[in-house]
Amino acid sequence: MALLKHFDKTLSISVYLQDEKHLYRVDSVLNKQSDRIIFTDEKIYQKPINPKTTRNKLLHFDDSMPIDERSKTNNPYLKDVDSIFSGVLNKASIPDDSLPPVYDQRQPNRAFPK
């Protein structure tokens, strides 16, 4: 992979993405292995935006808590070469009432509120 020769062991990336109502920041930490690049840490932040959002406040996520973190994601299908952000996009594009309930593994009979 040609990209491997362009950075040392660790690479940190911040990517900004926007939909109609939100701005997202994805902070990713990638590590180089011998023949591939893997995600070792990711945090996704989200903030609402509207026409009155000022330019100075637009890219500041300092007060925001992550809406998702790779270290807390319990997804056996998430590969170390894939970002967790696609899961956020898929959740945002599916209406809440069509999703099955999410159960707390510590209390299997109790669903989290949507």
Better-scored residue on pLDDT, 1 or 60 = 60
Tens digits of residue pLDDT in 4-17: 677 778 888 898 98
99 has pLDDT over 50:
no
Are 90 and 47 a contacting pair, CB within 8 Å?
no
Tens digits of residue pLDDT in 46-77: 998 888 888 888 888 888 888 888 877 777 77
86 has pLDDT over 70:
no
Q: Is the pTM of this model over 0.75?
A: no
Residue 19 vs residues 9, 14, 43, 55, 58: alpha-carbon distances, Å? 33, 17, 18, 17, 14
